[in-house]
Structure 1
C-alpha cells in the first residue's frame, strides 16, 4: 500500500512538471551536451591506460598532450552549457508552476479561504515550490550527468574485464536495500516538514499582520509560545531529516570503499597473473571513481525527490480546489432593475441555517435598510449578493434571471461595497482610489471622486497629496479618512448596486457627519442595501428589514415599524436615541432576546 502511494505521488510529481510545459529543445540540447561531456570524460581513462602501458619519456608526443588538453576543454565547455541549460529549464518550470499557482489562488472561492489559513496557503506558493525548484535547478543536472557517467563507465568496464565488473555490480542490490527503506522514511519526514512549515508560516502571518492587537492585549508571551512550538517541531523534523542523511552517506561510503578494496585486491592478482595489464587496472580504478562520485549525487537527488514529492501533494491539492470562473455567463447590461431575494436559505458547511427563507425585493434606485441583532445574518446576506457563497435553497434574481446566470465579472462590476473596516492596500492614496479599475483614470476623474467623497479635504493637506503612502492596510490614516477613500473608490467605479455594511458605526461624530454626506452623494440614484445602526439612514430608507436569527420578522418604513415591531422600537430608542412617543408593542413570537450592538 505504501509503495502504491509513493508511486502515485511520484507520478503526480512528473505530471505536475509536464503540465508546466518545459522547453523540450532546451532540455534536449542540455541532455545532449551532458552526454557529450560524459563521453569525453570516458575517453580520459582509456588514454591513461595506453599511457601507463607504454610509458616512456620518448613516447609522450605533443599531439597527445594537445589532444588531452582539448579533451578536458571540450568536457568543461559541454558540461558548463549543459548545467546552464538544465538550470534555465528548471527555473522556467518553477516560474510556470508559481504562475499557475498564483492564478489559482486568485481564482479560489471564498469558502476555500474560510477553511485554510492564509499563512499555510502562502507556504504552498513559496516554500513548497522552493523545494521543487531546488530539485530541478540543483539536482537534476547532477542526476543526468551521473546516470550517463555510470552507464558509460559500466559499459567500458564490461569490455575491459567483465568478471571484475560483475563483482563490482554486486554492490548495486546492496545499495538498493539500503536506499529504499531510507527513501520511504525521507518521504514521510518531508510531508511532515512541509505541513509544519505551512503551519508555522500561518502563525507568523497571523501574528505579524495583527501585531497591534498582540501588543495591546499583552499577548506577546502567548504568541511567543505558539511560535516556539512551531520552531521546536521544525527543529525535530530537521533532526530526523539529519539522522536519515547521516545514515545514507556513511553506509554508501562504506559499501563503495569496500568495493574499491576488493577491486584493487582482485585486480592486482589478475595483473600479477598477466590476465590484466597495469594500464587496464589503472583505467578500471579511474572508471570506478567515475561511478562512485555520481552515486553520491544520485543519492542526494533521490532524497530531494522525496521532499519534492511531498511538496507536490500539497500543491496539487491547492490546484485541484474549486475555483471561480469569472468570465462564464451572460453580461449584465442593465442593473437598474428590481433585485428579488426569493426564499433564500443558507448555512455554512453542515451547520445550522444562518439565513432562513429570506424573501424581499430591492427596488431600483431605492434604499433598503437592514437592522437587527448582531449575528442575525446581515453580513452573510451581503456575501450572498456578492456571490461569495451560493444559497442551499431559493434564489436571487435580477431582471427575471438568477444572478448565477451572469458572469461574476459582469455582476460584481455593478456592485460598490463599502464596509466598516474599509480595507486599503499598501500603496498611495491614488492606488487605493483607482484599485480594481480596468481603465486609465484621469486626474480630473480622480479629484472629482475624492471631492464627492469629501476626501479631498484631507488629501490636499498631505505634502505628497494623492501620492501619499497609506501604509500597510492603511494604518497611516484615520478611520474616517480610510472610509472616505473607500467611498471615493466606489464612486469611481460608478456602481448601479450599492452595499454599505455599517459604514459609519465606528467613527467619531465629526467624521460621521462628513462620511454621511459622502454616502449621500454615493447613494443617489443607486439601488442601495445598507446595514444600518444610525437614525439618518433608517428614517430615509424606503424599506426597512428587521432580521433576527436569519429570519425577517419585520418590514416596512420607519414609522410603521415603530408602531408594530417591539424589537425595532427597542432598537430605535436605544441605538437611534428616539424619545418614547408611542406605546410599547407586544412582542411577536419570533422575537427574542435583547438588542445586541
Structure 2
C-alpha cells in the first residue's frame, strides 16, 4: 500500500512538471526573475554582518560613511530587483496560464461529441478557469518565495555555523519537527484541495445549467428548487473552505510556535554566553537577525507547500482533459463534391449498453429528397448524428459510393453539409455574425441580401432598426422561433452545401411562420441531396423516398403512395395528420 501511495505521489510530481513544460514558460525571463530574487536575498545576508560590526565597535569616530552609502545603495538595488522580480514572475505565471488555457480551449473545440455527452459543461469550464488559476497563483505568488526562502535558509545556516556552531546546532533541532508537521498536514491539504476543486466544478455546472434557462425556471416556479441546488453547492464549498482554513490554522501557528520556541531558546542560551564573554553582543544581534531570516522564509515555505498541493490536484484534472483523445478534422482524404449515393449498410449503434439502431440499411440518392419519419425515440436524430459523423457506428458502415465516409477528412465532409435543426442554435452576437458563422471569409452585403431573400428573412431584418447589425441576444432570445429558423436557413444557403440535413425544421413553428420557413426550405433544397426528419407528413409527402423508423429498425421504405398502401403504422400517421379517408 505504501509503495502504491509513493508511486502515485511520484506520478503527481511528474504530471505537474510535464504540464508546466507543456505550457512552454519563457525560460530566460524566469531565470532573470529568479536571479533578481536571489540578489534581493543576497543583500539580506550583508545587513546582519554590518549590524554586528556596528554594535561591537559603535562610536561616531568609527562610522565609515562610505559603508553607509554603499548599504543605502544596496537597499535601493534590493528594492528595484525585488520589484522587477515580482513583475517578471507575474508575467511568467500569466504566460503559462494563457498557454494552458489556449491548449485547453483548442482541446475543447476538438473533443468528440461523446465527451460532452458524459461530462457536464460547467465542470469542463472549471478546468479552464479555476484550475489554471491555481497553477498561476503558485508561479506568481509562491515560486519566488520558495526559491529565495530556501537560499535564505541555507545561506543563513552556513553563516551561523561560522559565527557559532553550538547555537546553530540548538537552532537546527526545529527543522525535523517542522518537516514532520508539514508532511502530515500537507497530505491532508492535498485531499481537501482536490475536494474543493471538484465542488467548485459542480457548482459551476449548476450555474451553467440554470442561468441560460432562466425562463424555464420561472415558468416552472422552480426558483426554490434551483436555490436549494445552488445552496447545496455553496454549503459544500463553505465546508471545504473551513477544512482548508483549519489546515492553515494549524500549519502557520505550529511552525511559528516551533520557531519562536527556538528563538527564545537561542536568546536565553546566547544571553548566558554573552554574559560569560564567549560571544560578543554584536555576534548575538547578528545571530538573532539571521535567525529571523530563517523564520520568515519557513513561514513562506509552508504557504508554498500548501499551494503546491492545490496545484497538483488541479494538474491532475487539467492533464486528464489534455490527454483525452480528440478529433483530427483535417486528417483524411479531401472531398470536393458529392456525386455518388450515400449507402448505410447494416448499421448498429448503441449509447453504452442501450441499443438505439439495429441493422439499418438504406441509400440516399444524390439530388433527391429522403425523408425519415416515425414515432419519437425511434432513432431518427441518431441517424443524422451518424451521417454528420458525431458518432461512429457500433457495427456496419456508411459509404459515399464505395468509399467509407471515415476516409474523408471531417473538415471537408462537414463543409459539404448544411444542417438546420428543430431549434437552430444562434450565438450571442449580430444577425450578420450568425448568418456568416463558420464561413471564414468576408461576406459582401449583396451576398447577404441574396441568401436572406431566399430564406424569406429579408422582410423582418429590414424592419429592424440596425438591420444586419441587430443583436440577437443569448441563444437568439430576442428573435421569434420562425425568425431564428430563417436565419439558420440563410446560414445554410450561404454555405452552399451539397448535402442538406433538416431535423424537424418546422415542427415547433406556428402556421404562419411555417409557411415562410417551408418556402425558404424549398429554395434551400433545390438541386441538393436532402435528408429530412419530419413529424408532419405534410412536409414530406412529395419526397422521393420515405423511410419509416421505429424502435431502431426501418420497417418500411418507398414513396408516400407505396407506404400508405403497404405500411399499417404509416397509414395511421397519414390518416391522423393528412385527414385522409379510405
**TM bucket, shorter chain:** over 0.9
Shift of 1:11: 2.1
Mapped to 2, the partners of 1:533 and 1:32 lie a distance apart of: 70
Mapped to 1, the partners of 2:523 and 2:201 lie a distance apart of: 45
Shift of 1:104: 0.6
527, 544, 547: which one pairs with 2:546? 544
Shift of 1:410: 0.5
2:418 is equivalent to residue 416 of structure 1:
yes
Shift of 1:268: 1.6
Checking the alignment, whether the CA contact within 8 Å between 2:461 and 2:467 is kept in structure 1 is: yes
Structure 2 residue aligned with 1:585:
none
Structure 2 residue aligned with 1:588:
none
Mapped to 2, the partners of 1:535 and 1:33 lie a distance apart of: 76
Structure 2 residue aligned with 1:258:
261
Structure 1 residue aligned with 2:346:
343
Checking the alignment, whether the CA contact within 8 Å between 1:336 and 1:527 is kept in structure 2 is: no
Shift of 1:322: 1.8
Which structure 2 residues correspond to residues 410-449 of structure 1 after superposition, within 5 A?
410-449=412-451
48, 66, 69: which one pairs with 1:66? 69
Over residues 453-508 of structure 1, what are the superposed CA-to-partner deviations in whole Å (9 max), with x where a residue is unaligned?
Answer: 00001000000000000000000000000000000000000000000000001111
Checking the alignment, whether the CA contact within 8 Å between 2:337 and 2:416 is kept in structure 1 is: no
Shift of 1:424: 0.4
Mapped to 2, the partners of 1:278 and 1:489 lie a distance apart of: 85
Shift of 1:432: 0.3
Structure 2 residue aligned with 1:522:
524
Checking the alignment, whether the CA contact within 8 Å between 1:87 and 1:141 is kept in structure 2 is: no
Mapped to 2, the partners of 1:574 and 1:141 lie a distance apart of: 75
Which structure 2 residues correspond to residues 127-206 of structure 1 after superposition, within 5 A?
127-206=130-209
505, 530, 533: which one pairs with 1:531? 533
Checking the alignment, whether the CA contact within 8 Å between 2:486 and 2:520 is kept in structure 1 is: yes
Over residues 390-418 of structure 1, what are the superposed CA-to-partner deviations in whole Å (9 max), with x where a residue is unaligned?
Answer: 00111111132111111110000010000
Structure 1 residue aligned with 2:95:
92
Mapped to 2, the partners of 1:78 and 1:220 lie a distance apart of: 54
Over residues 310-336 of structure 1, what are the superposed CA-to-partner deviations in whole Å (9 max), with x where a residue is unaligned?
Answer: 111111111111210111001002213
**Contiguous gaps of at least 5 residues in structure 2:** none
Shift of 1:17: 0.7
| RMSD after superposition | 1.0
Shift of 1:137: 1.2
Shift of 1:40: 1.4
Shift of 1:33: 1.4
Mapped to 2, the partners of 1:371 and 1:292 lie a distance apart of: 76
SS at match of 1:439: coil
Over residues 164-186 of structure 1, what are the superposed CA-to-partner deviations in whole Å (9 max), with x where a residue is unaligned?
Answer: 11211111100011110100000
Shift of 1:255: 0.3
2:320 is equivalent to residue 317 of structure 1:
yes
Mapped to 2, the partners of 1:93 and 1:166 lie a distance apart of: 41
480, 483, 486: which one pairs with 1:484? 486
Shift of 1:21: 1.0
- Could you tell which deviates more after superposition, 257-266 or 536-545? 536-545
Over residues 48-97 of structure 1, what are the superposed CA-to-partner deviations in whole Å (9 max), with x where a residue is unaligned?
Answer: 11111111111113212201101111211122212211111111111101
Checking the alignment, whether the CA contact within 8 Å between 1:346 and 1:356 is kept in structure 2 is: yes
SS at match of 2:547: strand
Shift of 1:6: 2.7
Mapped to 2, the partners of 1:250 and 1:538 lie a distance apart of: 76
SS at match of 2:581: coil
Checking the alignment, whether the CA contact within 8 Å between 2:37 and 2:148 is kept in structure 1 is: yes
Checking the alignment, whether the CA contact within 8 Å between 1:425 and 1:474 is kept in structure 2 is: yes
Mapped to 2, the partners of 1:49 and 1:387 lie a distance apart of: 77
479, 498, 501: which one pairs with 1:499? 501
17, 22, 27: which one pairs with 1:19? 22
Under a length normalisation based on structure 1, what TM-score does the superposition of the two structures give?
0.96
SS at match of 1:57: coil
SS at match of 1:58: coil
Mapped to 2, the partners of 1:126 and 1:28 lie a distance apart of: 27
Mapped to 1, the partners of 2:519 and 2:414 lie a distance apart of: 25
Mapped to 2, the partners of 1:405 and 1:158 lie a distance apart of: 72
- Could you tell which deviates more after superposition, 232-241 or 56-65? 56-65
**Contiguous gaps of at least 5 residues in structure 1:** 582-597
Structure 1 residue aligned with 2:361:
359
SS at match of 1:365: coil
Which structure 2 residues correspond to residues 230-241 of structure 1 after superposition, within 5 A?
230-241=233-244
Mapped to 2, the partners of 1:2 and 1:100 lie a distance apart of: 30
Checking the alignment, whether the CA contact within 8 Å between 1:365 and 1:528 is kept in structure 2 is: yes
Checking the alignment, whether the CA contact within 8 Å between 1:369 and 1:537 is kept in structure 2 is: no
SS at match of 2:471: coil
2:328 is equivalent to residue 308 of structure 1:
no
Which structure 2 residues correspond to residues 361-376 of structure 1 after superposition, within 5 A?
361-376=363-378
Runs of 4+ with >4 A deviation? none
SS at match of 1:326: coil
Structure 2 residue aligned with 1:290:
293
SS at match of 1:343: strand
2:454 is equivalent to residue 452 of structure 1:
yes
Mapped to 2, the partners of 1:308 and 1:350 lie a distance apart of: 37
Over residues 415-460 of structure 1, what are the superposed CA-to-partner deviations in whole Å (9 max), with x where a residue is unaligned?
Answer: 0000001110000000000001022211111111111000001000
Checking the alignment, whether the CA contact within 8 Å between 1:49 and 1:279 is kept in structure 2 is: yes
